[in-house]
Amino acid sequence: ETGVTQTPRHLVMGMTNKKSLKCEQHLGHNAMYWYKQSAKKPLELMFVYNFKEQTENNSVPSRFSPECPNSSHLFLHLHTLQPEDSALYLCASSLAGAGEEKLFFGSGTQLSVL
């Protein structure tokens, strides 16, 4: 248990569905991240939130819509996805401005788009 919880662990959705991924951190951190991990590719940064404000968007398609209502919760809203969006989606958090800025990851949501 790293203190970062992601739900659901697995998700299968059709291309016309709308779903949301949820991430919650219990570490008192102020920065949260979404990463995408596809087979045989390095982890790709999607979004960064610092104190609930989006500070980085790595040219992610608009069919992925992040939401950060507070420093402890992060969502990724999904709609009209493509099969190539199938991947492991990882959430992470860190304490910005605290020296090491070590990242702590959740267990991920394995997404399959049919």
The angle formed by the CA atoms of residues 105, 36 and 40, to the nearest 5 degrees, is 110
**Encoding tokens for residue 80?**
């009209």
* Contact flag: residue 108 with other proteins (CB under 8 A): yes
Contacts of 112 (CB under 8 A, 6+ apart): 10, 11, 12, 13, 86
> Is 16 or 40 the residue whose CB approaches other proteins more closely?
40
- Is the C-alpha dihedral spanning 41, 52, 12, 80 positive or negative? negative
The span from the first CA to the last CA of the chain, in angstroms, equals: 31
* Contact flag: residue 22 with other proteins (CB under 8 A): no
Residues 48-87 that bind other proteins (CB under 8 A): 48, 50, 55-56, 58
Of the candidates 11, 31, 78, 87, which one interacts with other proteins according to CB under 8 A? 31
Minimum distance of other proteins from residue 16's CB (angstroms): 26
Enumerate binding residues for other proteins (CB under 8 A): 2, 4, 6, 31, 33, 40-43, 45, 48, 50, 55-56, 58, 88, 90, 92, 94, 96, 100-108, 110
